[in-house]
Amino acid sequence: MRRAIYPGSFDPMTNGHLDIIERGCKLFDEIIIAILVHPDKQPLFTIDERREMLLQVSGEINSGACALRVDSFQGLLVEYALACGADAIVRGIRAISDYEYELQMALMNRRLEPRIETVFMMPHEDYSYVSSRLVKEVFQLGGSIDGLVPAPILERMKQKLNKA
Ligand code: PNS
């Protein structure tokens, strides 16, 4: 039984996140998509809204034999991962610019908890420039984000920002 945590802010989930989850399903028996509860950040969507959206979208993923769960966590990721009985943390790497920060986190996490491995996965190149931050900014300024987020997420963004 191989269990992985896929942690992130998911504010909101993008097609890049979706792509990584689909790829992770080929490697793991269970993936827990874990939303970080970040008390200092001002998110667009609440934790409950993000959980709902992730549940909705993950329910439509063809995950094969891999079970998908959605959860949220506070505090150290490795402590959460250990408490879940996870073997690995999955992180998506879009470009070299991601790599430096992700390597730092992976090595720090390994120092904190050597039993948890970090697995880096590359999303499809179509999503190599897609981030939650840019998606929000472009949408808030009236630009199109069609094809960059799952359809239900686009709907939720329209509702949230009264752009229906
Ligand atoms: O989607 P994000 O915002 O890039 O995800 C970052 C995340 C949640 C993976 C990272 O901030 C994290 O793990 N936070 C939990 C606190 C923690 O463990 N910090 C030490 C990391 S070395």
The answer, yes or no, to whether residue 164 has pLDDT greater than 90, is: no
User: Which atom belonging to ligand 1 lies closest to the Cα atom of 91?
Assistant: 9
The answer, yes or no, to whether residue 147 has pLDDT greater than 90, is: yes
Rounded mean pLDDT, 36-48: 92
- pLDDT computed for residue 93 by the predictor: 98
Question: What is the maximal distance between C-alpha atoms in the chain?
Answer: 47
For 38, other C-beta atoms within 10 Å of its C-beta total 12
- pLDDT computed for residue 161 by the predictor: 86
Ligand 1 cavity residues, CB under 6 Å? 7-9, 36, 76-77, 105, 108-109
**CB 101, CB 131: distance < 8 Å:** no
